[in-house]
Structure 1
Amino acid sequence: MIYVLVGGPRDGQHVDDLPRGYRLSLADPPPEPFGEFETVRAVWFELDEVLFRSAQRRE
């Protein structure tokens, strides 16, 4: 499965592993074909962005 990232720092990228800060949107349409794979949208959540920044400061 391929994820299409929507919003956030990686907007528009296609990835095969869901990165931190992105969540699957249950309200989106069913997966769409992308070559031999299916794609689903993963959206950036502002709350996750705040948590992500906090985690970076601790590192």
Structure 2
Amino acid sequence: MIYVLVGGPRDGQHVDDLPRGYRLDLDEPAPQRFGEFDTVRAVWFELDATMFRSRQHRD
């Protein structure tokens, strides 16, 4: 599975691991083909990244 990142610092990148700060786009009905791979959109949630950073500083 390939993730297409939408928004945030890595907008437009195709990656094979979902990076922190991104979530799957639940509005997208089905994976799309990219060569021989299925792709799904992952959208940037800045709030999630902010929460992760603050949690990381407390630990």
Q: TM-score range, shorter-chain basis?
A: 0.7 to 0.9
Instruction: Report the TM-score when normalising by structure 1.
Output: 0.83
1:12-53 residue CA offsets vs partner (Å, 9 max, x unmatched): 000000000000011113111001100000000121132244
Residue 21 of structure 2: aligned partner: 21
RMSD, aligned CA: 1.5
The gaps in structure 2 that reach 5 residues or longer are: none
Q: Is 2:50 aligned against 1:37?
A: no
Identity of aligned residues (%): 79
Q: How far apart, in 1, do the equivalents of 2:53 and 2:31 lie? A: 30
Q: How far apart, in 1, do the equivalents of 2:44 and 2:12 lie? A: 11
The gaps in structure 1 that reach 5 residues or longer are: none
Q: How far apart, in 2, do the equivalents of 1:51 and 1:9 lie? A: 16
Residues 1:39 and 1:17: Cα distance change in structure 2 (over 3 Å): same
